Structure 1
Amino acid sequence: MRQGPATATETPTEADALRAVAEGALEADAGARDLSKDMRRLADSGILARLCTFEGGPEQIRAQATLLRRIGRASLSVGRLAEGHMNALKLVTLYGTPEQVQRHISNARNGAIYGVWGADAAPPVTVTAELDGRLRLAGGKRFASGLGTVSHAVVTAQHVDGLRLAIAEVGHPRRADAAAWDTSGMRATASGSYDFDSLTSEALGAADAYLREPHFQGGVWRYAAVQTGGLEALAEEVRRAVSASDAPGEAQLHRLARIAGLAHRARLMVEDAALRVETPGAGPADVALSLAAREEVEQACLEGITLADRALGTRSFAKGQRAELVRRDLGFFLRQADLDGKLRQVGAALCAAKAPIGEVWAE
C-alpha cells in the first residue's frame, strides 16, 4: 500500500532533509534567508547527531564521510557549516572535560549549532585574563562561518603559554559584521567578522592542544569530503544535460565519463584518508594521506569544473542555474590557507617513510 505524504510532526528522513537543502540553495545564495533552517533540517533528521558520534569503528567513519559528501552535494555552504559543527564537537570530545563533553553534546542535540573560527582579524584574538576555567578575550575573527546560525564557536586565542582554545557563545548581533563577507562564492555561509573584545568564554583543553596531530592537519579530509560532494553535484548536472539529448555526441559522453570518474576517485581517496586518520594510533603517514587527498580533490574539482563548462556551455554561467552556483561555490571553497605548505608536508612525510611508494599508504 502506498504511503501518503509525511505530516509536519513526522521526523524527516535523511533524503527528505537533503532534498530540501538542495532546493533552497539558490535562495540562500541570493541572501533571501540564512542557513538556520537547513541546519535544523539536518538536526531533525539525525544527520548532525550521526556526524558527531565519535566512538564508532570503520563503518561509522565511512558513513560520516558519506554524509559530509551528500550534504556537500546538496549545498556546499550548508556542508561548510555541517563540517564546522562536526569539527567543533570533535575538539570538545578530544580536549574537553567529561562535564564539558556531556554538556556541549547535549546542547548540540537540543539544536545548538557549533563552529570553529580560527582565522584572526586585526588585531587577533588573544587571552587577556584567565580565572577558574574562563578566558577573557580581546581582538576579532574573520571568516567566521555561520553568523546568525552558529550559536557556539570554538575559537583559537593567542596566549603566553601557546595557542589556547575557547568555547564562546557567539549569538550577539552587535559583535557580528556580515558585511565583511563580500565574495563571489560560498556567500550563504555568511562568513563575516566577529568582535571578541571583553568577551568571557570557556577554556577548552591545554595550550597548543589544537595543533596536535592527527586531528589538526589530518582533519582536512572532512572539508575534502564536502568538496567531493560539490564535484558530484556538478557531475550530476552534466549527466542530466547529456541524458536529455536525443543523440548525445561522443565528446559529450566522454566528458560525462571523465567527470564521473574524477568524482569517484576523489571519494575513494577521501574515505581512505578518513579511515586512517580517525583510527586510533594514526601517525604522520596517515596525516600525509589526508593532506594528499585534499590535493587530489582540488585537482579533480578544477578539472571537473572545466569539463562541466565544456559540456554545459553558457548554462555554467547563467545566474539562477544550479550549475552556476555549484561551480562558483566550489571554485571559492577550494581556496584554503597554506595549500603549498600542506603539499610540502606530504612530500616531507614521504621522504621520511621507510617503505617504498606504493606501500606507504597500503593496507
Structure 2
Amino acid sequence: MMCDAPALALRVVTDGHLDVPLPGRGDTAERLRVLAGLCHRDISMGRLVEAHLDADAILADIIGERTGDGEFWGVWAAEPPEPTVTAERQAGRWELTGAKPWCSGVISCTHALVTARDADRRRLFAVDLQQPGVRPERGGWAATGMRTTETGTARFDRAVARPIGEPGAYLDRAGFFHGGIGVAACWLGGARKVADTLYATAARGRDDDITLMHLGAVDARLAEGQALLSHAAAAIDSAPEGLERARRLASQVRWSVEQIATDVIDRVNRALGPAPLVHHREHAQAVADLGVYIRQSHADRDLVTLGRLVVEESTARRPTAQEDRCR
C-alpha cells in the first residue's frame, strides 16, 4: 500500500517523538542511522523529514535556535538561473518576491528556509508559509519517482521573511556539508528498501546461483555504505568546525553512496527480472524514488569538485623550497 508521504512526514515531525541528535555534537552516527531508517521505511517520507531535520540543524548552527513544536520545515535552496527570488528591506522588514522552484513539501510545510538574492549576494531567510504573500503551486512533475513529495514552485509576493545569519552564512560552514552527508544516509536507507525485495525472495527459497550472487554483492555493498557513514560520523564529531575537511568528506561519501545505490538498483533488477517492477507496487515506487533522489547529486561534476579539493589540499601541504633545504 502506498503511503501519503507528506501526511506521514508531518506526523513523524510533529507527534513529539522525533528526537534526533544534531550533527557534530558527539552522536552523529545516531543521526545518520535515523535518517537512513526513515528512508528505509518510505523514501519520499524520509526525504521530507530529512529536510525538516536539516532546517533544525541549520537554525541551531547559524543562530542558535531550533524549529518549534507543530512546525514542519522545508529547505528551499535551489538556485537555477531562472526564476529567482529577491530580498529587499522595506520599512524595517525583509520581504521576498519571486518564484522558487524545486520546493519539496510545498503544500504541507508550515515554514521554510529559503535562499534569495540580496543585491548580488545569496542569503538565507526563514519564512512563515502561512501568510498571504506565499502561494504554493503544484504541477510540472511528470516523473513517477518522488511524486508524493509535493515538489513544486513557491511564489512570493512581498512575503515577510527573517534573515538567518549574514550573506554567505548558509554555505560557508561545515554544517552545510554535514547536511549533504545526511542526504547520503537517506540514499543508503532507500537502497536498503529496494534491496528488501531481493532479501525476501531469497528467504522464500529462491537460492539459484544468480540470485545468491547478486544477494551477496548487494549485502556487501550495503555493509560498505554503513561503514562509510560510520567513518563520516566519527570524522564529523572529531572536527565539527573543520570546513575544508567536511567539504572533501561530503564529496567522498555522497559519490560513494550514489554508486552503491545505483549498483543495488541494477543488481536487484538483474536478479529478479521485471516481475517486482510490474507487480509489486511498493518496490516499483522505491526503485523510481531512489533513481530520482540520487540525482540530487551533481554526478560527474562532483568528481571534478573532489579532484580539485584533493589537488588543493596536496598543494597546501607541499613543502616550500626553503623547507626542503632545511630537511
TM range (shorter): 0.7 to 0.9
Whether 2:134 is the aligned partner of 1:167: answer: no
Whether 2:25 is the aligned partner of 1:56: answer: yes
Whether 2:300 is the aligned partner of 1:332: answer: no
For 2:128, the aligned partner's letter is E
Find the aligned partners of 1:38 and 1:87 in 2 and give their Cα distance.
14
For 2:211, the aligned partner's letter is Q
Find the counterpart in structure 2 of residue 40 from structure 1: 11
Whether 2:138 is the aligned partner of 1:138: answer: no
Alpha-carbon spacing, 1:192–1:159, altered in 2? closer, same or farther (3 Å): same
* Residues 165-194 of structure 1: CA deviation (Å, up to 9, x unaligned): 110112469711112333221111011111
Find the counterpart in structure 2 of residue 344 from structure 1: 304
* Residues 105-160 of structure 1: CA deviation (Å, up to 9, x unaligned): 3x1xx22111100124743001122554x311111111111122211000000112
Find the aligned partners of 2:33 and 2:120 in 1 and give their Cα distance.
38
Counterpart of 2:189 (choices 222, 226, 229) is: 229
Find the aligned partners of 1:229 and 1:116 in 2 and give their Cα distance.
20
For 2:251, the aligned partner's letter is L
Alignment map for 1:197-208 (pairs within 5 Å): 197-208=157-168
TM-score by length of 2: 0.87
Find the counterpart in structure 2 of residue 277 from structure 1: 236
Alpha-carbon spacing, 1:339–1:274, altered in 2? closer, same or farther (3 Å): farther
Whether 2:28 is the aligned partner of 1:69: answer: no
Q: Relative to structure 2, which stretch is displaced further, 343-352 or 276-285?
A: 276-285
Find the counterpart in structure 1 of residue 324 from structure 2: none
Alignment map for 1:204-353 (pairs within 5 Å): 204-245=164-205, 248-278=207-237, 279-318=239-278, 320-336=280-296, 338-353=298-313
Structure 1 runs, 4 residues or longer, greater than 6 Å off: none
Counterpart of 2:113 (choices 154, 162, 172) is: 154
Unaligned stretches of 5+ residues in structure 1: 1-23, 29-33, 356-363
Secondary structure in structure 1 of the residue aligned to 2:87 = strand
Unaligned stretches of 5+ residues in structure 2: 316-327
Overall identity of the aligned pairs, in %: 25
Find the aligned partners of 1:182 and 1:323 in 2 and give their Cα distance.
19
For 2:25, the aligned partner's letter is G
Alpha-carbon spacing, 1:204–1:285, altered in 2? closer, same or farther (3 Å): closer
Alpha-carbon spacing, 1:347–1:206, altered in 2? closer, same or farther (3 Å): same
Residue 341 of structure 1 and its aligned partner are, at CA, apart by 3.2
C-alpha RMSD of matched pairs (Å)? 2.3
Whether 2:149 is the aligned partner of 1:180: answer: no
**Are the counterparts in 2 of residues 232 and 260 from structure 1 also a CA contact under 8 Å?**
no
**Are the counterparts in 1 of residues 170 and 176 from structure 2 also a CA contact under 8 Å?**
yes
Find the aligned partners of 1:155 and 1:212 in 2 and give their Cα distance.
16
For 1:344, the aligned partner's letter is V
**Are the counterparts in 2 of residues 68 and 229 from structure 1 also a CA contact under 8 Å?**
yes
Alpha-carbon spacing, 1:83–1:36, altered in 2? closer, same or farther (3 Å): same
Alpha-carbon spacing, 1:302–1:114, altered in 2? closer, same or farther (3 Å): same
Whether 2:62 is the aligned partner of 1:95: answer: yes
Alpha-carbon spacing, 1:238–1:258, altered in 2? closer, same or farther (3 Å): same
Find the aligned partners of 1:236 and 1:179 in 2 and give their Cα distance.
32
Residue 351 of structure 1 and its aligned partner are, at CA, apart by 2.1
TM-score by length of 1: 0.79
Find the counterpart in structure 2 of residue 4 from structure 1: none
**Are the counterparts in 2 of residues 178 and 193 from structure 1 also a CA contact under 8 Å?**
yes
Counterpart of 1:83 (choices 30, 50, 61) is: 50
Find the counterpart in structure 2 of residue 31 from structure 1: none
Aligned length, in residue pairs? 312
Residue 43 of structure 1 and its aligned partner are, at CA, apart by 3.9
Q: Which has the higher contact order (CA 8 A, sep 6+)?
A: 2
For 1:46, the aligned partner's letter is H
